[in-house]
Structure 1
């Protein structure tokens, strides 16, 4: 059904689909927010899924156990009501995803947001999304609200208030992007996905006025000087960012993982970058791990090199760690194509020198499923990495291997041999990178055995990981007039 181009597919090719003024002209009539923000990433990832992956990238809204969802949502409502009685003000409103939650000394700690939240705990309020409806208490950071009730009410408001005009507007926009993708890429959306996008967009667009008013009430109550949000460049954040910017509040996104010239959420077509209304849905600042990352993206925002708080904390914790013998070939899963990585690990285990141990580390979102399939923690000759912290695994690694994982970059300065799988996906996601490449398991074995020349581009560790994140973060806040109490 989809015509795959013989030439290398790049994100720039896909972004031409949105380089169309007609797309930007479809806006929420009450707020002016371009509706393309609501479905941009899902649409682009449908194209990527068909043309680059063997596994769908979109779950079409599945939420898992309805009982767990209802239970956690009810508890979240009660928590927010009790917490809200104090009506606390905060200079910094921080929003994070629960994917980063980890147990630490018996309490939950969000490795993505809590480092920032606890840096100025008396001035920061954290609003957190659920991850798989997991209840994230008790926890280290007590100053927290839960985002789920807002998300649930917005979904309900969109469902009951969407009408014929919303659906006609959604149908018009999806028709434009479908035609553009067909003409420019030879790619077909298909009737089922077309209907899903129209229904989804109609509901989301109907909810925008309610959501905008709700966020403005929250922001007025908290009265922050800055809103810092994970995934602020993603479309679902557009209403919140617009509400904050309309109130004159500074906005920023902290980097939470890998970004690159092939990352759809951080790179835009020329018309998008120049459109004033679209720019109002993007944050003012991107707080990056280091200057290499900011140089990869064209989002029309200011890049500020901060560093990676979680990486810094882990390295400080392991400063006296007794390094094990480095015999592991650590293969990092991507959370999507599990079997593809297991096959690579098996091929490698059958041919690599016996002095090495092949280890497969599942991505956090696939870890439980992998352990259910292989409860003994092994796949034939392959050991499944059960370390809760990837940095523990680095200390016994002779080499780190993956295709798209942020772990490749986290290993810089810690592991001597870092390899990226030279696939269409990797070339799409990382048109530029500093790592050695391999084409298949035989090529990798040859390089591990020293029979092939490895090539690593000259990139300073400090370019990827800006040192002294706390000083940099404090300096950024001070530049906005926010000083520690």
Structure 2
């Protein structure tokens, strides 16, 4: 790349994902950001994820992740949610419980018509737990009817804190802090060749912490759980901090890909995070072995993925007596047109590149191509990807992903978690050379996925059968997930009693 050096500024903004990530880590090391404190807290561990994402988007071709609602619509949703939460799903009126679940806001609607939290609902349904379920909003709204019983919404905590932040914001930065953050911004500008709003983000993070912290404390004192189980820990640092103050251990359920490039989980070297969960429940041993998380290894439990396991069981039942095998080789599957079906797993960040690839591939691929949109692409994809609308490609929005797995012989994407799930079903896996594909390098290194850079190279690799799933998929997804989670929860609670 012209003008780029290991230590100097950027002349060309189009960095590779790997290079941008490496430079990000270098700034952290040079400035000792993990040892610095502002307002008495290690501020960097709160600002790190969003700053990294901003740096990656500003200096690589990676696009936006998901669609978001407009500003005016968002304000109306916030106000409506705040008022409704006083009377409906008020978490401060819930009864105390042994375990408090903080779920995933983006639910999935299944065939029963209910919106599932696919990470928590299988656990709550499969185990007899004294639990309360707390739900963050998704784009300032909540999906109903929910599978989860007696959902309690966190709108009062979030928007109640936001009201104070808007009208009575506390002072969190001293003049010395402001000067230090100017140095941080200058260091990022030198390495990345573009300005990042580090100071503004840190101030917002710390003001938000001050405003929401007493509400979280009051909530968890009211619920008095022995354990908090949450999905997605980054962005929930204040809740974790309050749990630590109250002596409540926190468990995180894995929800997606964990790899060395995911700064929500990867803390190489002497990096650490005070507001990281006390325990991490992963899909399988693979995930804990490929990344340096900031907790001891004996606090990482490979337990499995209940939703995946249940979905595979449904596929097995559906395929009884048929030619497909949800846990075996699917290379014999054929579409109605006599050719093998290829599933393209999209994401908003690389949707333009992947959709162009699919449209071009349709001209030479002998079978059917199904393009599965990410939920963030459902609205407006036809305008964003007009070439896809005109191509001989079957574009699917809310189709069940596992049904598509069952119908397909191979899949291609970039770094979606769904690719691992397709691998578990037994699909041949290909990765398109795009920003971020390095995140699935462990699959390539193990020979379970093949990287291609064009429709032509894909056709050559596909016809040669260069990609094949592993025979043993338990390192990725441990079986008997619900039973494993029950045992792991019991072990954690026993450890905490000692």
TM-score range for the pair, normalised by the shorter chain length? 0.7 to 0.9
Please point out which of 305, 308, 332 is paired with 1:308: 305
User: 2:71 aligned with 1:72, yes or no?
Assistant: no
Residue in structure 1 matched with residue 5 of structure 2 by the alignment: none
Residue in structure 1 matched with residue 355 of structure 2 by the alignment: 342
d(CA) in 1 for partners of 2:111, 2:468 = 36
How far does the alpha carbon of each residue in 1:267-290 deviate from its partner, in whole angstroms, 9 at most, with x for none? 1253422xxxxx321111111110
Q: What secondary structure is seen at the aligned counterpart in 1 of 2:489?
A: helix
Note the C-alpha offset of 1:145.
0.9
User: 2:46 aligned with 1:49, yes or no?
Assistant: no
Note the C-alpha offset of 1:469.
0.5
Note the C-alpha offset of 1:71.
2.4
Residue in structure 2 matched with residue 18 of structure 1 by the alignment: 28
Deviates more, 1:325-334 or 1:15-24: 15-24
Note the C-alpha offset of 1:409.
0.5
Note the C-alpha offset of 1:76.
2.4
Contact 1:290–1:305 (8 Å) recurs in 2: yes
User: 2:188 aligned with 1:181, yes or no?
Assistant: yes
Note the C-alpha offset of 1:43.
1.0
Contact 1:395–1:415 (8 Å) recurs in 2: no
Q: What secondary structure is seen at the aligned counterpart in 1 of 2:375?
A: coil
Note the C-alpha offset of 1:122.
4.4
d(CA) in 1 for partners of 2:278, 2:289 = 16
Contact 1:155–1:204 (8 Å) recurs in 2: no
Note the C-alpha offset of 1:205.
1.1
Unaligned runs of 5+ in 1: 274-278
Note the C-alpha offset of 1:340.
1.8
d(CA) in 1 for partners of 2:132, 2:52 = 33
Residue in structure 1 matched with residue 377 of structure 2 by the alignment: 366
Note the C-alpha offset of 1:177.
2.7
Residue in structure 2 matched with residue 388 of structure 1 by the alignment: 399
d(CA) in 2 for partners of 1:332, 1:7 = 20
Contact 1:93–1:228 (8 Å) recurs in 2: yes
CA distance 1:7–1:99, shift in 2 (3 Å): closer
d(CA) in 1 for partners of 2:485, 2:250 = 14
Residue in structure 2 matched with residue 102 of structure 1 by the alignment: 109
TM-score, length basis structure 1: 0.85
TM-score, length basis structure 2: 0.83
User: 2:287 aligned with 1:293, yes or no?
Assistant: yes
1:213-252 matches, cutoff 5 A? 213-232=214-233, 234=234, 236-252=235-251
Please point out which of 94, 98, 101 is paired with 1:91: 98
Residue in structure 1 matched with residue 440 of structure 2 by the alignment: 430
Q: What secondary structure is seen at the aligned counterpart in 2 of 1:461?
A: coil
Residue in structure 2 matched with residue 115 of structure 1 by the alignment: 122
Please point out which of 145, 169, 184 is paired with 2:152: 145
Q: What secondary structure is seen at the aligned counterpart in 1 of 2:173?
A: helix
How many residue pairs match? The answer is 460
d(CA) in 1 for partners of 2:238, 2:92 = 22
Q: What secondary structure is seen at the aligned counterpart in 2 of 1:360?
A: strand
Contact 1:11–1:264 (8 Å) recurs in 2: no
Contact 2:35–2:42 (8 Å) recurs in 1: yes
Contact 1:289–1:307 (8 Å) recurs in 2: yes
Contact 1:251–1:283 (8 Å) recurs in 2: yes
d(CA) in 1 for partners of 2:183, 2:469 = 41
d(CA) in 1 for partners of 2:50, 2:209 = 18
d(CA) in 2 for partners of 1:88, 1:150 = 17
d(CA) in 2 for partners of 1:120, 1:239 = 28
Note the C-alpha offset of 1:467.
0.6
Unaligned runs of 5+ in 2: 1-10, 325-332
1:241-280 matches, cutoff 5 A? 241-273=240-272, 279-280=273-274
CA distance 1:136–1:76, shift in 2 (3 Å): farther
1:377-416 matches, cutoff 5 A? 379-386=390-397, 388-416=399-427
